[in-house]
């Protein structure tokens, strides 16, 4: 969205037209809606803005639920925004630390600021992009004077009266639609500036989960977060926002439920053991936080291979930090022999998991030519130098 489109949209006519539109999902919906609105005499800028927003609101349901229907977005802003449920959990940490006013530097469309304001915190949201800041102001308008939006660079704004900071450094090229990732040294604001601020004030910093661990300050709490099976972010907490004695944490959120594992540092792995009755796949946040060993001990499990993040055990235990599978049998790893074995067992629905082997699950599935009414999970991995195929059944989550 450019400034002309936003100007056309932020009028009584534009907002009323947007709210009256039905859901715009497929490309055919877009074409029909554009044609109808242009035939009704609406300007090209207004039509482009309204139809674009209607489509983004559909996509935003996954992150913002019903709140998406009253929000505005840019495509890049939506992609980079924190899910509202996760933003609420972050906001609770500020509230529980006794913070009353937070500066959200690099606020984007205002996803994190919404979480903060919803918990009664006063928010000063800052973004350097004019269009993005205007959209954040619209999204935060229901909170009145408790949510202020400034269009400025994080490094240049003077905020002497805030208690704590939340930062989401720009890690992609500028723009409202297609963007690309940049190197840490090119982020805005720079990590050096961010970490200097965090050394002087209580601060939360949202970063990508694959951040080079060598860049994490020694005195920060590093919390990896996963949501519904995807590892979505790393948050570094400093000052009063960092929990005493916690340097590594993995927060696993599935739907409305959440579980967290914390530690003073990286956990020591358990030794490799022979394949047992169960295989456990640690959540991505557990792997990133290097807490696999702590999870293994809680399951009476060991490593399936020292270089692969699968655990194995004989005990019928599971946890929120793993996906567990009961092993039926080991099948031939050769594709032709494996296909024959699966057909003999009548397996037509197959979940394929793989680690430590160079296969493409979609290509393998096609080659297996599955037929039958039974379902199972296939785990393709290695035991030492040997490639194995394990037929298993997924165990209900704890």
For residue 176, pLDDT beyond 60: no
Q: How confident is the model over 329-372, as pLDDT tens digits?
A: 999 999 999 999 999 999 999 999 999 999 999 999 999 999 99
Whose tokens are 């919390």? That residue is 223
* φ, ψ (nearest 5 deg) of residue 311: -110, 160
What pLDDT score does 177 carry?
56
8 A C-beta contact, residue 13 and residue 47: no
Whole-number average pLDDT of the chain: 93
DSSP string for 282-294? E-HHHHHHT-HHH
For residue 182, pLDDT beyond 90: no
Residue among 363, 368, 379 at smallest CA distance from 340: 368
Structure tokens at 256: 């409305």
Report how far residue 90's alpha carbon sits from residue 92's, in angstroms, rounded to the nearest whole number: 5
Report how far residue 127's alpha carbon sits from residue 149's, in angstroms, rounded to the nearest whole number: 8
Residue 181's contacts (CB-CB under 8 Å, 6 or more residues apart) are 171, 172
DSSP 92: H
pLDDT tier, 183 (very low <50, low <70, confident <90, very high otherwise) = confident
For residue 214, pLDDT beyond 90: yes
Q: What is the gyration radius of the CA atoms in the chain, in angstroms?
A: 24
Q: How confident is the model over 375-385, as pLDDT tens digits?
A: 999 999 999 88
Report how far residue 95's alpha carbon sits from residue 99's, in angstroms, rounded to the nearest whole number: 5
pLDDT tier, 179 (very low <50, low <70, confident <90, very high otherwise) = low
pLDDT tier, 23 (very low <50, low <70, confident <90, very high otherwise) = confident
What pLDDT score does 384 carry?
87
Residue among 82, 30, 83 at smallest CA distance from 55: 30
List the alpha helices (DSSP H) in the chain: 3-9, 12-20, 27-39, 44-64, 75-80, 84-96, 111-118, 130-140, 191-200, 284-289, 292-298, 335-344, 361-368
pLDDT tier, 24 (very low <50, low <70, confident <90, very high otherwise) = confident
What pLDDT score does 50 carry?
93
The SS3 call for residue 189 is: coil
Q: How confident is the model over 107-130, as pLDDT tens digits?
A: 999 999 999 999 999 999 999 999
Report how far residue 220's alpha carbon sits from residue 74's, in angstroms, rounded to the nearest whole number: 32
Mean pLDDT to the nearest integer, 248-276: 96
Report how far residue 88's alpha carbon sits from residue 227's, in angstroms, rounded to the nearest whole number: 13
Residue 28's contacts (CB-CB under 8 Å, 6 or more residues apart) are none
For residue 178, pLDDT beyond 80: no
Mean pLDDT to the nearest integer, 77-92: 94
8 A C-beta contact, residue 333 and residue 388: yes
For residue 190, pLDDT beyond 70: yes
């Amino acid at each position: 969205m450019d400034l002309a489109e936003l100007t056309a949209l932020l009028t009584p006519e534009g907002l009323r037209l947007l709210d009256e539109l039905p859901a715009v999902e497929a490309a055919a919906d877009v074409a029909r809606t554009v044609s109808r609105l242009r035939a009704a005499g609406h300007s090209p800028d207004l039509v482009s803005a309204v139809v674009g927003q209607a489509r983004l609101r559909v996509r935003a349901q996954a992150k913002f639920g019903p709140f998406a229907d009253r929000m505005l977005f840019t495509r890049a802003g939506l992609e980079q925004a924190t899910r509202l449920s996760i933003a609420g959990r972050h906001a609770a940490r500020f509230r529980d630390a006794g913070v009353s006013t937070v500066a959200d530097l690099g606020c984007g469309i205002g996803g994190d600021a919404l979480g903060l304001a919803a918990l009664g915190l006063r928010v000063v949201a800052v973004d350097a992009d004019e269009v993005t800041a205007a959209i954040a102001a619209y999204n935060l308008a229901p909170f009145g004077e408790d949510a202020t939006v400034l269009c400025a660079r994080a490094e240049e704004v003077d905020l002497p009266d805030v208690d704590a900071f939340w930062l989401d450094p720009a890690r992609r090229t500028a723009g409202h639609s297609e963007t690309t990732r940049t190197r840490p040294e090119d982020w805005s604001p720079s990590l050096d500036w961010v970490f200097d601020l965090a050394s002087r004030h209580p601060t939360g910093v949202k970063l990508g989960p694959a951040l080079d661990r060598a860049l994490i300050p020694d005195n920060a709490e590093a919390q990896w977060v996963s949501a519904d099976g995807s590892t979505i972010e790393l948050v570094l907490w400093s000052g009063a926002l960092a929990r005493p004695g916690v340097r590594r944490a993995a927060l696993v959120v599935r739907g409305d439920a959440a579980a967290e594992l914390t530690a003073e540092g990286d956990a020591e792995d358990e030794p490799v053991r022979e394949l047992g009755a169960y295989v456990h796949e640690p959540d991505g946040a557990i792997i990133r936080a290097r807490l696999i060993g702590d999870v293994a001990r809680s399951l009476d499990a060991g490593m399936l291979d020292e270089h692969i993040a699968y655990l194995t055990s004989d005990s019928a235990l599971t946890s929120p930090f793993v996906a567990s599978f009961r092993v039926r049998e080991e099948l031939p790893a050769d594709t032709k022999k494996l296909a024959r074995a699966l057909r003999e067992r009548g397996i037509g629905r197959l979940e394929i998991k793989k680690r430590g082997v160079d296969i493409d699950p979609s290509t393998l599935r096609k080659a297996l030519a599955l037929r039958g009414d039974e379902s199972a999970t296939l785990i393709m991995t290695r035991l030492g130098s040997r490639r194995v195929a394990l037929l298993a059944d997924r165990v209900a989550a704890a």
